[in-house]
Amino acid sequence: MSIHNGLQAVLATADVAARRRASVMAALVVVVVLLLLLSLGVGPVRLSPLSVIDALFGGGSDVAQVIVREIRLPRAILGFAIGAMLGLSGAALQGLLRNPLASPSLFGAPQSAAFGAVLVIALGLADVRSWALPVAAIAAAFASVFALLAITGRNAGLLILILAGLAISSLAGAATALVMNLSSNPFVVLEIAFWLLGSLEDRSFRHVLLALPFISAGAVILLSQRHAFRALSLGEETAQSLGVDVGVLRLMVITGVALGVGGAVAVSGTIGFVGLVAPHLMRPLIGHDPTRLLVPSALTGAALLLSADVAVRLIPSTSDIKVGVLTSIIGVPFFLYLIMRERRALSGGVA
């Protein structure tokens, strides 16, 4: 009898948790849609959400249509897709490594992807809008994450991961600097330098076409592994004993993150810390289950990048602020706050 009552109570609480997750998801979708409309409306010419919708579906003036559909829509789509991919990558890496401080940017993946792309540009192998760019970025991102996991080994603690990530991102940064150093064309150098800051400005549908297939493929790969992350909460060996092929899982996550981050960096430059922050914002609302965190973290990443990209258009300044600069300016203090909050676990040296 008491067992029965206990079971009822347990089922009731599980139900409450499920309903809570559903309402968080609904709220996220609403926020992202509003931000998309805002992103289409904000700029030198301000448009109300209603006229944005009107222009989007072929109404309104020709000028409004051109602004919304050709100038701002690619930017909004990229903001959504790249932000979502970064949030998803962060959540997937945190799930794989069972570590709340894991993220693509701390592990040097975007920096390495940027190096791959910069190398292609500087060598004059391709112009900024060719397929060679994302391919080089993806290859470099893959190499960096693969190297990180190979160096740190299977059950690496936090300290080792962060140190190796620091080394890899420093190396990628140094290699990028070397390429710029050796480049004889000052205009190319300037172009690279600005591109590295990370921006979604002046992007066309050509850029969307360049990045979206890779980002989508990366997202599909990461989401296909979603259930394994929960089993992995019990450690690699136990997950294996439950039927999860941990070796395959690692390879899939590396590939998914490399495709997504490489594709994103190729069109936007490096945009950091969205992947670190997004899952943390969701944990108090969704819980710690790494499987349930994936999609909400993606939506949060999209919301973060879209709002940062709207913010850079609203902040008054003489020259335009790059969105990658803004995310880092906000993201790094957040990272420091996380370190402060988890310092007891960190000083213990265990993850």
**Residues 26, 297 contacting (CB under 8 angstroms):** no
Our finding on whether 231 is near other proteins (CB under 8 A) is: yes
**DSSP letters of 105-139?**
TTTTHHHHHHHHHHHHHHTTSS-TTSTHHHHHHHH
Segment near other proteins (CB under 8 A); pick from 3-11, 43-51, 133-141, 175-183? 3-11
* Cα four-point dihedral sign 274, 280, 281, 282: positive
How many residues make contact with other proteins (CB under 8 A)?
31
**Residue 197, both tokens:** 């800051």
Rg (CA), the chain: 21
Binding mask 12-31 for other proteins (x = CB under 8 A): -xx--xx-------------
**Residues 39, 72 contacting (CB under 8 angstroms):** yes
Contacting other proteins (CB under 8 A), which of 42, 53, 234, 325? Answer: 234
Segment near other proteins (CB under 8 A); pick from 43-51, 61-69, 240-248, 271-279? 240-248
User: What letter represents residue 320's amino acid?
Assistant: D
User: Which residue's CB is nearer to other proteins, number 112 or number 291?
Assistant: 291
Our finding on whether 288 is near other proteins (CB under 8 A) is: yes
Within 10 angstroms of residue 78's Cβ, the number of other Cβ atoms is 26
Binding mask 96-115 for other proteins (x = CB under 8 A): --x-----------------
Question: How big, in percent rounded to 5, are the helix, strand and coil portions of the chain?
Answer: 80, 0, 20
User: Which residue's CB is nearer to other proteins, number 128 or number 234?
Assistant: 234
Closest to 195 (Cα-Cα) out of 129, 79, 114: 114
Contacting other proteins (CB under 8 A), which of 70, 201, 237, 320? Answer: 237
- Which residues inside 289-348 make contact with other proteins, applying CB under 8 A? 289-291
Residues binding other proteins (CB under 8 A) = 3, 6-7, 9-10, 13-14, 17-18, 98, 227, 230-235, 237-238, 240-245, 287-291, 351
